[in-house]
């Protein structure tokens, strides 16, 4: 089964080898029929700690690195 890949923005790079990535998606509102932007934060593994806040990155599912970190940064998108 292929691993999921998502694109997002780094919102925090304070931890060692970890970045928090915000992924936005558009969802149609069931009543108003307008698109609403929903977002979710993922913890991703950054081996070289080279990404900083505001960078656009692509993340991919991986083996668990810790309790909350199950994604890894593939490359900047």
Boundaries of domain holding 71: 5-76
| Nearest alpha carbon to residue 53 among 15, 19, 3 | 19
**Residue 21: per-residue pLDDT:** 98
pLDDT above 70: percentage of residues in the chain: 99
Residue 30 has which token pair?
Answer: 């069931």
How far apart, in whole angstroms, are the C-alpha atoms of residue 14 and residue 3? 26
Under a CB-based contact definition with an 8 Å cutoff, are residues 58 and 71 in contact? no
Give the CATH number for residue 14: 2.40.50.140
* Structural domains counted in the chain: 1
Q: Which residue has the tokens 């991703």?
A: 44
What residues in the chain have per-residue pLDDT under 70?
77
How far apart, in whole angstroms, are the C-alpha atoms of residue 5 and residue 3? 7
């Amino acid at each position: 089964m292929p691993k999921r890949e998502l694109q997002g923005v780094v919102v925090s790079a304070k931890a060692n080898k970890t970045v928090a990535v915000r992924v936005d998606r558009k969802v149609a509102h069931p009543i108003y029929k307008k698109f609403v932007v929903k977002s979710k934060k993922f913890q991703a593994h950054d081996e070289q700690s080279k990404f900083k806040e505001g960078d656009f990155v692509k993340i991919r599912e991986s083996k668990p690195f810790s309790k909350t970190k199950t994604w890894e940064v593939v490359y900047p998108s």
